[in-house]
């Protein structure tokens, strides 16, 4: 049986380092699925493999049954609308906020749809509208994260993959970012979320995977993972 | 007060002091030289004006070439040392078209059409050479250490020079004259050579056009995105390889146009013609702040005027004989001084952050 999005037995090597040792996971349409784990567990590598920035040694990545490994990064965006909001935001600092948002819609040609989505992003993040003529490099960390997410939404994602959206943000901002992710999902976008902040991630996700040194060690609904003793000890900081 | 001065002086090395002395000496030389030249009355105001106009025309050609250096640097962090040959390839090839058109009398009957055709061919050839250069010589080395493509660029430069020498023979070829651009115009009571004004104005228009392309079109936005962060740009769906090709194409087209202006001004082309303008344009790009588009334009104009005025203004006033022959020395002295005292160039401020 085939899933909306699926990774099967994926291996990635960086030179002699075996970063992913055969991971498998799936995401169904409309879900929020989270991938949690410590630093260096291979979360970012997984996402980079999905968007084609890293060439896996073996394995399969399938979207609606079609193998993605034959595509180059820009084709994955253009043809499949799988949008990757990268770790560390990576906004274009020397462009204005609005130019950044238009970059997110780079592969689209439907002018009306783009303007519609621009308004939708501005409704979601009124701060961005206030600052739309400002250079992105002058924004605060929280605002840059909003911009990175907004830029991702401008591509009208069919699968939105997000890498550590909470990184480096004040707790109050983290909360609002996660509320927004939940809202985006409610509006119909499927989300694959990588997080170190397991507590927040499991509070909004439907299902989750636990990644440790390149292997998936646990998989279940968010509820199950929250109640799992190992997860509580290692990732939720409970005694 | 003394405390603070002494504190700051602790960090001053012998090299710094030596450099300050050099800078101070140069300033004195420039001031004294200019003062002497201006008061000696050897040149009239009209002549100074002519120096500036021909400097601007020459400088706008540098600016067009510098655009290619700076755009490629902005995106790949490499100096494309074969860019001077991209500049040469266009007008050298277009010469043969110009020759045919002249024999058919098109330069007499319809000089603008003839010039347009020559221009088009020159730009096309330079574009093709620039894009092939990237495809064949630079792209396979994309991941290599920065020194590697630099060495390749120098190799490619020689390769192109001698290929064109072999193709078109080593001698100088004379470009036909364009009648409507001969003679002078009188503007505000001043006589100006038509050719210089035409070159200056059309280069400036072309520069503005290219700047607008990079600043306001979707493709231009992609170029800027790739220059800032290749991976992030790829995640937006930008085809990075294609965008880099486009960047080389834009730089090539600008160089091809600059080549025709150069050929019209100096009436000669040969396989070696790209070497000096190439180096000068590189200097201009550094002066303006490499990687910075307005900087390249400003640097080009600045260098053009500086080296046109410089010999008569600074050097003759100091009693240097045959000062005009030291034009190139002035240009490259500027390069060295900028690299020492302001390596980020006139408009550059962000290079250090990138390194």
Say whether A103 and B234 touch across the interface (CB within 8 A): no
In a domain, B301, yes or no: yes
Say whether A77 and B218 touch across the interface (CB within 8 A): no
Say whether A77 and B235 touch across the interface (CB within 8 A): yes
In a domain, A86, yes or no: no
In a domain, A137, yes or no: no
The residue in chain B having the minimum alpha-carbon distance to the alpha carbon of residue A50 is B235
Chain A residue numbers touching B222 (CB-CB < 8 A): 103, 106
Residue B350 has pLDDT above 70, yes or no: no
CATH number of the structural domain spanning residue B113: 1.10.3470
Residue A1 has pLDDT above 70, yes or no: no
- The reported pTM is 0.89
In a domain, A24, yes or no: yes
Would you give the DSSP letter of residue B337?
H
Confidence of residue A131 (pLDDT cuts 50, 70, 90): very high
Range with lowest mean pLDDT among A83-92, B143-152, B256-265, B315-324: B315-324
Q: How many domains does chain B have?
A: 1
Q: How many domains does chain A have?
A: 1
Residue B291 has pLDDT above 90, yes or no: no
Rounded Cα distance, B200 and B305, in Å: 12
Mean pLDDT of A158-179: 89
Rounded Cα distance, A18 and A78, in Å: 30
Confidence of residue B351 (pLDDT cuts 50, 70, 90): very low
pLDDT tens per residue, range B198-248: 899 999 999 999 999 999 999 999 999 999 999 999 999 999 999 999 999
Compute the mean pLDDT over every residue in chain A, rounded to the nearest whole number. 91
Supply B184's token pair: 């002078």
Helix axes of B147-168 and B83-103: crossing angle, nearest 10 degrees: 20
Would you give the DSSP letter of residue B326?
G
At B352 the pLDDT is 41
In a domain, A185, yes or no: no
In a domain, B56, yes or no: yes
In a domain, B27, yes or no: no
Best mutation target, A73, A97, A109, A162, to test chain B (most B CBs within 10 A): A73
Say whether A151 and B237 touch across the interface (CB within 8 A): no
Q: Which of A84, A93, A95 sits opposite B235 (nearest CB)?
A: A84
In a domain, B144, yes or no: yes
Range of A215's domain?
1-81+160-165+190-239
At B281 the pLDDT is 92
Mean pLDDT of B121-128: 95
In a domain, B286, yes or no: yes
In a domain, A205, yes or no: yes
Range of B56's domain?
49-354
Rounded Cα distance, A42 and A181, in Å: 22
Mean pLDDT of A196-209: 91
CATH number of the structural domain spanning residue A39: 3.40.50.300
Q: Are B70 and B285 in contact (CB under 8 A)?
A: yes
In a domain, A126, yes or no: no
Rounded Cα distance, A221 and A206, in Å: 6
Q: Are A83 and A159 in contact (CB under 8 A)?
A: yes
The residue in chain A having the minimum alpha-carbon distance to the alpha carbon of residue B238 is A74
Confidence of residue A239 (pLDDT cuts 50, 70, 90): low
At B353 the pLDDT is 42
Mean pLDDT of B52-67: 93
In a domain, B7, yes or no: no
Compute the mean pLDDT over every residue in chain B, rounded to the nearest whole number. 87
In a domain, B276, yes or no: yes
In a domain, B245, yes or no: yes
Mean pLDDT of B248-254: 95
Confidence of residue A204 (pLDDT cuts 50, 70, 90): very high
């Amino acid at each position: 049986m085939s899933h909306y999005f699926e990774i099967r037995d994926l291996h990635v090597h960086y030179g002699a380092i075996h970063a992913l040792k055969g991971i498998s996971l799936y995401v169904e349409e409309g879900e929020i699925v989270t991938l949690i784990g410590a630093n260096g567990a291979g979360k970012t590598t997984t996402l980079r493999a999905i968007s084609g920035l890293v060439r896996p040694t073996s394995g399969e990545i399938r979207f609606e049954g079609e193998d993605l490994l034959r595509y180059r990064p820009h084709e994955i965006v253009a043809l499949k609308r799988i949008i990757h909001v990268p770790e560390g935001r990576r906004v274009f600092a020397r462009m204005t906020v609005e130019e950044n948002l238009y970059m997110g819609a780079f592969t689209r040609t439907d002018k009306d749809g783009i303007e519609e989505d621009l308004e939708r992003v501005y409704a979601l993040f009124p701060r961005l509208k206030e600052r739309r003529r400002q250079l992105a490099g002058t924004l605060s960390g929280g605002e840059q994260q909003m911009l990175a997410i907004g830029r991702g939404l401008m591509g009208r994602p069919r699968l939105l993959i997000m890498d550590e959206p909470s990184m480096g943000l004040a707790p109050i901002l983290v909360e609002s970012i996660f509320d927004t992710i939940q809202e985006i999902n409610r509006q119909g976008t499927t989300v694959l979320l990588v997080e170190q902040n397991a507590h927040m991630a499991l509070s909004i996700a439907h299902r989750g995977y636990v990644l440790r040194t390149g292997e998936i060690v646990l998989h279940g609904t968010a509820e199950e993972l929250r109640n799992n003793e190992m997860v509580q000890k290692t990732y939720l900081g409970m005694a | 007060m003394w405390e603070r001065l002494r504190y700051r002086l602790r960090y001053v090395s012998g090299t710094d002091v030596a450099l300050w002395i050099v800078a101070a000496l140069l300033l004195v030389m420039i001031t004294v030289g200019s003062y002497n030249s201006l008061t000696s009355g050897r040149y009239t105001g009209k002549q100074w004006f002519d120096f500036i106009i021909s400097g601007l025309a020459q400088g706008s050609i540098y600016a067009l070439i510098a655009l290619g250096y700076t755009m490629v640097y902005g995106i790949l962090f490499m100096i494309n040392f074969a860019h001077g040959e991209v500049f040469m390839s266009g007008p050298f090839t277009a010469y043969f078209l110009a020759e045919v058109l002249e024999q058919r009398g098109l330069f007499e009957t319809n000089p603008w059409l003839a010039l347009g055709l020559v221009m088009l061919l020159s730009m096309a050839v330079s574009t093709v050479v620039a894009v092939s250069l990237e495809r064949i010589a630079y792209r396979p080395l994309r991941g290599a250490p920065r020194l590697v493509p630099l060495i390749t660029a120098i190799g490619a430069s020689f390769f192109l020079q001698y290929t064109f020498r072999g193709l078109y023979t080593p001698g100088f070829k004379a470009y036909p004259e364009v009648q409507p651009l001969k003679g002078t115009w009188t503007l505000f009571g001043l006589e100006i050579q038509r050719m210089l004004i035409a070159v200056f104005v059309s280069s400036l228009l072309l520069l503005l056009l290219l700047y607008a392309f990079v600043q306001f079109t979707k493709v231009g936005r992609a170029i800027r995105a790739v220059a800032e962060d290749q991976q992030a740009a790829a995640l937006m769906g930008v085809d990075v390889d294609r965008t880099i090709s486009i960047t080389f194409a834009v730089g090539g087209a600008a160089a091809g146009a600059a080549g025709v202006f150069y050929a019209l001004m100096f009436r000669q082309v040969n396989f070696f013609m790209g070497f000096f303008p190439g180096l000068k344009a590189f200097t201009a790009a550094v002066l303006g702040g490499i990687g910075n588009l307005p900087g390249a334009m400003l640097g080009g104009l600045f260098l053009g005027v500086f080296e046109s005025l410089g010999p008569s203004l600074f050097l003759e006033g100091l009693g240097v004989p045959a000062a005009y022959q030291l034009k190139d020395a002035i240009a490259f002295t500027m390069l060295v001084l900028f690299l020492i005292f302001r390596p980020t160039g006139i408009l550059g401020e962000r290079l250090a952050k990138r390194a």
